[in-house]
Amino acid sequence: MSTSTRYNSRWVFSDTSGYYAAMIENDENHDAALVILSRLERERVRFFTTLYVLAELHALVINRRRNPQLALALSEISKLAAQPLFL
Amino acid sequence: MPAKEVKHIDVTHIPELLRLAEEVQNTGEIRILKKDQEELAQITPIKPLPNGLVPFTDVLSTIRPEIALQDIIDAYTKGNSKQRKLIELQLGGFRTSLERMMAEQVGDIIKQINEKKAGVKPTKPSTRKRAKSRVFTKDDPLWNIVGIFKDDGGPTDVSANIDKYLADAYSDTH
């Protein structure tokens, strides 16, 4: 995730690796992602990303298709796509 | 004897058929559906594309992950056929996910590109509004995805090697 200041707010771009690390419990960067998210929550930042990032996340999760939690994960990604996270 | 009425099938909620129908519509090419060697049915476009308009697949091939949706028209204008082909090869399965997730948005862009190429001036400006970003709080839906998925037996270095695993994911879809 990278940050920038714009219009007197702090904006954070969420990329695929950040989302994935946060989402997958046994990813090696999962704990680090949680620490970063907690800090960003305290700092009251604003996220932005693109549908391409979510499409990449979608592709990665689909590739783990044998996992029974897949449907739930895809459902949550779809909800993210419906949220006002995009510039 | 009156002509038999053609039965209409709404494929809005049948993603595979919808994708196929849109592909036929946008390429103007007929598709034959087969079961093994037996030809079962034929999908034909209602209206062929006028000369000079852009096939759907060509437009998708211009999409690069690092550019925003709004930049696609510019990327198309500047890109040559060789660049588009290279991008298409690189994206592979990404396009499949993209088609499913962004059918509406991409369709709108295709319409704009086609109108631009055909020299048609838009009758009115786009009314699409950009979503407003909001402050990230403990109630943000982003928290819903945290730890949602434990990939037992799977690789643990995906986020550290995202390009490698994306390449695997894309190649696995073909």
Q: What is the pLDDT of residues B18-44, one digit of tens each?
A: 888 888 777 767 788 888 888 888 887
With bands split at pLDDT 50, 70 and 90, how would you rate the model's confidence at A10?
A: confident
Does the beta carbon of A1 lie under 8 angstroms from any beta carbon of chain B?
no
Question: Do residues B58 and B114 both lie within one domain?
Answer: yes
Question: Do residues B114 and B104 both lie within one domain?
Answer: yes
State how far the Cα of B100 lies from the Cα of B105, in Å rounded to an integer.
11
Which chain A residue is nearest to residue B164, measuring alpha carbons?
A: A60
Question: Do residues B106 and B169 both lie within one domain?
Answer: yes
Residue type, position B169, single letter: A
Q: Which residue reads 């990404």 in tokens?
A: B94
Whether B148 and A28 lie within 8 Å, measured CB to CB: no
Q: What is the mean pLDDT of residues B85-112?
A: 57
Does the beta carbon of B94 lie under 8 angstroms from any beta carbon of chain A?
yes
Whether B145 and A69 lie within 8 Å, measured CB to CB: no
In this predicted structure, the answer to whether residue B133 has a pLDDT above a threshold of 70 is: no
Are the CB atoms for A53 and A19 separated by under 8 Å? Answer: yes
Whether A51 and B140 lie within 8 Å, measured CB to CB: no
Instruction: Count how many domains chain A has.
Output: 1
In this predicted structure, the answer to whether residue B54 has a pLDDT above a threshold of 90 is: no
Residue B94: φ, ψ to 5°: -55, -35
Question: Do residues B110 and B28 both lie within one domain?
Answer: no
In this predicted structure, the answer to whether residue B70 has a pLDDT above a threshold of 70 is: no
Tell whether A48 is covered by a domain: yes
Instruction: Count how many domains chain B has.
Output: 2
Whether A87 and B133 lie within 8 Å, measured CB to CB: yes
Enumerate residues 6+ apart whose C-beta is below 8 A from B58. Answer: B84
Of A75, A27, A22, A26, residue with least CA distance to A47:
A22
Q: How far is A45 from chain B (nearest CA, A)?
A: 6
Question: Do residues B110 and B171 both lie within one domain?
Answer: yes
pLDDT of res. A35: 92
Strand B38-43 relative to strand B31-35: parallel, antiparallel, unpaired?
antiparallel
Question: Do residues B96 and B29 both lie within one domain?
Answer: no
Question: In the predicted model, what is the mean pLDDT of chain B?
Answer: 67
State both tokens at A7: 């219009």
Question: Do residues B98 and B23 both lie within one domain?
Answer: no
Q: Give residue-wise pLDDT tens across range A18-57.
A: 988 988 888 999 999 999 999 988 888 888 777 778 778 8
Chain B residues closer than 8 Å to A68 by CB = none
Q: Best of A1, A6, A25 to disrupt the B interface by mutation (most B CBs within 10 Å)?
A: A25
Chain A residues closer than 8 Å to B145 by CB = 19, 22-23, 73, 76-77, 80
pLDDT of res. B83: 55
Q: How far is B70 from chain A (nearest CA, A)?
A: 10
State how far the Cα of B146 lies from the Cα of B30, in Å rounded to an integer.
45
Does the beta carbon of B169 lie under 8 angstroms from any beta carbon of chain A?
yes
Q: Where in the sequence is the domain holding A70, given as residue range(s)?
A: 2-82
Tell whether A38 is covered by a domain: yes
The pTM of the full predicted model, rounded to 2 decimals, is 0.46
pLDDT of res. B37: 82
Chain A residues closer than 8 Å to B144 by CB = 76, 79
With bands split at pLDDT 50, 70 and 90, how would you rate the model's confidence at B93?
A: very low
Does the beta carbon of A69 lie under 8 angstroms from any beta carbon of chain B?
yes
Q: Where in the sequence is the domain holding B90, given as residue range(s)?
A: 50-120+161-174
Question: Do residues B55 and B92 both lie within one domain?
Answer: yes
When mean pLDDT is compared over B30-34, B46-50, B79-83, B92-96, the highest value belongs to B30-34
CB neighbours of residue B70 within 10 Å? 12
Tell whether B100 is covered by a domain: yes
Question: Do residues B29 and B71 both lie within one domain?
Answer: no
Question: Do residues B59 and B106 both lie within one domain?
Answer: yes
Locate the DSSP E strands across A1-87: 2-6, 9-13, 46-48
